[in-house]
Amino acid sequence: MQAVVIHGARDLRLDDIERPAPGPDDVLVAVEYGGICGSDLHYWQHGATGTSILREPMVLGHEVAGVVAAVGSGITDVHTGQPVTLHPATTCDHCPECRGGHPNLCADVSYFGSAARLPHSPGAFARYRVVPRAQVRPLPPGVSTRHGAVAEPLGVAVHAVRRAGSVRGRRVLVNGAGPIGCLVVAAAKALGAGEVHASDLTAASLGIAAAMGADHTVQVGTGQSLPAEVDVVFEASGAPAAVGACLTALRRGGTLVQVGNLPAGQVSVELAPLVSREITYVGSFRFVDEISDAVALIAEGLDVEPLLTHTFPVDQVETAFRTALDRSVASKVLLDFTSARA
């Protein structure tokens, strides 16, 4: 079967690999759509993302949905032909973080398409993927596999919004209107935010943020000012230079949630307002099981379609990756695996 395999920086291939078979407690999923994430792009550009360095060929991809192709002999609660999305993490279940209800912080986690451990954890950009039943999330009627592929990043966004506590009725700023930022906009609105502002350098990205629910947009670098005295800021750009401005935009006693990954190593950040304005500054990493909440939100009417700017058949994978790099035209780019060789 065909799979998208990264062999090194700028060495992305559509390889033929062995089709897997499910064990007794496993589910075989025929992948239909997969969303290209920033980490996938980093592996392609640099052979690494953060401290995760590619040391062997690896199937990419952790944002996928498809239909059940087969189930193991011990599975009775999902059936062949059922549309599903997949939770990409397998955790140890016994470390202090797992036992404390924070499995997203498990030090021994295995995550689809991650080079953090060796052997690497293969991703799901393949025609078929076997997973344990616990990682399967059925899609409700009316939720397509195209939209189900967005459940994983929407889960990241829901987790980030909840890291701020309740946003109901509050004024919110989302800085950075890439795919995650736009999904944070949508999640904040869905969870009751009273007013949501989005800021970004790129007009096209702000247009998508508005379509995803932003009440106001600010194009940074054009003389427009960030809103003042907001209750919560979600910093989704990962740009150290943006942190100081985000802190200043907050009211005294407000909350800043760092969603975007900041660069590794020492960076220069203006943090003085953190103390003088008594700001709560928290990080947000992946999600616990908010992927299930994301599926429910889509089923309830949260429209992710404006985010999906491009879809490419898997045999055009390099074109898809190049397009995903271009923030002036693209937001979330999907790969269509339905025509891939089985």
Q: What secondary structure does DSSP assign to 74-87, as a single string?
A: T--SS-TT-EEEE-
**313/279 same-domain check:** no
Name the amino acid, one letter, at 181. G
List the CATH number of the domain containing 9: 3.90.180.10
Tally of structural domains, the chain:
2
Could you tell me if 21 and 82 lie in one domain? yes
* Distance (Å, whole) CA 108 – CA 311: 34
Q: Are 295 and 320 in contact (CB under 8 A)?
A: no
Give the structural domain span for 143.
2-150+304-336
Q: Is residue 250 part of a domain?
A: yes
Same domain? For 101 and 69 the reply is: yes
Same domain as 324, residue 239: no
Judge whether 80 lies within some domain: yes
pTM of the predicted structure, to 2 decimals:
0.96
**What span, in angstroms and rounded, lies between the C-alpha atoms of 188 and 269?**
26
- The answer to whether residues 120 and 47 touch, using CB atoms and an 8 Å cutoff, is no
CB-CB contact of 33 with 146 (8 Å): yes
pLDDT tens-digit profile, the chain (342 residues): 999 999 999 999 999 999 999 999 999 999 999 999 999 999 999 999 988 999 999 999 999 999 999 999 999 999 999 999 999 999 999 999 999 999 999 999 999 999 999 999 999 999 999 999 999 999 999 999 999 999 999 999 999 999 999 999 999 999 999 999 999 999 999 999 999 999 999 999 999 999 999 999 999 999 999 999 999 999 999 999 999 999 999 999 999 999 999 888 888 888 999 999 999 999 999 999 999 999 999 999 999 999 999 999 999 999 999 999 999 999 999 999 999 988
> Are 85 and 183 in the same domain?
no
